[in-house]
Amino acid sequence: MNGLGGLNKSPEGVVIGLVQLQLPNTVTRADLAAQTDKVVGMVAKARRNIAGMDLVVFPEYALHGLSMDTNPEIMCRMDGPEVAAFREACRDNRIWGCFSIMEYNPGGNPWNTGLVIDDQGEIKLYYRKLHPWVPVEPWEPGDLGIPVIEGPKGCKLSLIICHDGMFPEMAREAAYRGAEIMLRTAGYTAPMREAWRFTNQSNSFCNLMVTANVCMCGSDGTFDSMGEGMIVNFDGSIIAHGTSGRPDEIITAEVRPDLVREARRVWGVENNIYQLGHRGFSAVAGGAGDCPYTFMQDLVAGEYKLPWEDEVQMTDGTSCGFPKPVRRYGETNKEAAE
């Protein structure tokens, strides 16, 4: 079903390109501008690469690299030049694009933001990373949920970012809201390679959903990102996998949202996304639709607490050089100071 990486495109197919972008080192506004130009150039390369490509996906940290620098001078704004350049690139090349920015937040730490822009240059999806990779990442926890949009060729499309994908609840929420294709962009380095692979497959299989996943690639002189562009079918099988570790390689494949829809309708065994809410339907009409999961009930009630909660040793970012926060979630810096 790969279609030779999208070279042979079926009428129902969506061709996705995952850019294993060379890891940058961004310190100044000039660095940010240069990296923006690099990304724009890669959009054009993607279009030249495969004429029928529908969506090109860039990894997390595509502009900012892995320094975790929160300097306001290099943060992006939705009305800033970087987003404007991405919109123009998608419009000029008639291609959908998924992009990463670190977004300025006047009330707290920056957001780790993902955008999907259509082939007319319109922003269709705007997402803020829900689960920053603590204690390493200083980003504000996201507050927009997991949006699902109508993407290229009418597919239902969602986006999560990096560490988000280690929480099975994230992929389940995307699927529950109708996503047929879930993008996962990342900056992961080599120690996460195996976890990256099996969670991508699990996220697909457990939800009958295609996932398209990509990391930064290469070295910035300190960190080594792994690339690992990976497109996984709804049955958990790998359609395409970038294992060479070659920076700026574009991993491509055709996926079939129509077959996702078919599987969700007709599968009996392992239709897990349906069966979660219809337990034991062979024994009781319609299955059991209760919530037997204590952690779900406690989380909704604001009472989530692990049996070993008081023994957890790392509960802030001080081990990674960040000051201990005093501001509560939902408060601005100004409110916390009053």
pLDDT tens digits, one per residue of 155-208: 999 999 999 999 999 999 999 999 999 999 999 999 999 999 999 999 999 999
* Residue 336 pLDDT class (50, 70, 90 cuts): confident
Write the pLDDT tens digit of every residue in 18-36: 999 999 999 999 999 999 9
Strand ranges for 14-143 from DSSP E: 14-20, 55-57, 96-103, 111-117, 123-128
The alpha carbon of 118 is separated from its chain's Cα centroid by a whole number of angstroms, namely 17
Token readout for 101 is 């920015």
Write the pLDDT tens digit of every residue in 287-318: 999 999 999 999 999 999 999 999 999 999 99
pTM of the model: 0.97
CB distance 62 to 102 below 8 Å: no
CB distance 67 to 25 below 8 Å: yes
DSSP letter string, 191-260: GGHHHHHHHHHHHHHTTT-EEEEEE-EEE-SS-EEE---EEE-TTS-EEEE--S--TTEEEEEEE-HHHH
Question: Which residue numbers are catalytic?
Answer: 60, 129, 162
Q: What is the mean pLDDT of residues 226-237?
A: 97
Return the ∠ at Cα 295 (arms to 290 and 296), rounded to 5°: 50
Dihedral angle over CA of 122, 118, 234, 213, nearest 10: -90
User: Is residue 112 helix, strand or coil?
Assistant: strand
Alpha-carbon gap, residue 229 to 98, rounded angstroms? 14
| CATH 3.60.110.10 holds for 3-271 | yes
**Residue 54 scores a pLDDT above 80:** yes
Write the pLDDT tens digit of every residue in 97-141: 999 999 999 999 999 999 999 999 999 999 999 999 999 999 999
State what percent of residues in the chain have pLDDT above 90.
94
Token readout for 129 is 């990373």
**319: buried, middle or exposed (CB in 10 Å: 19+, 13-18, 0-12)?**
exposed
**Residue 334 scores a pLDDT above 90:** no
**Residue 337 scores a pLDDT above 80:** no
Q: Give the relative orientation of helices 193-205 and 168-176 as an angle to the nearest 10 degrees.
A: 30
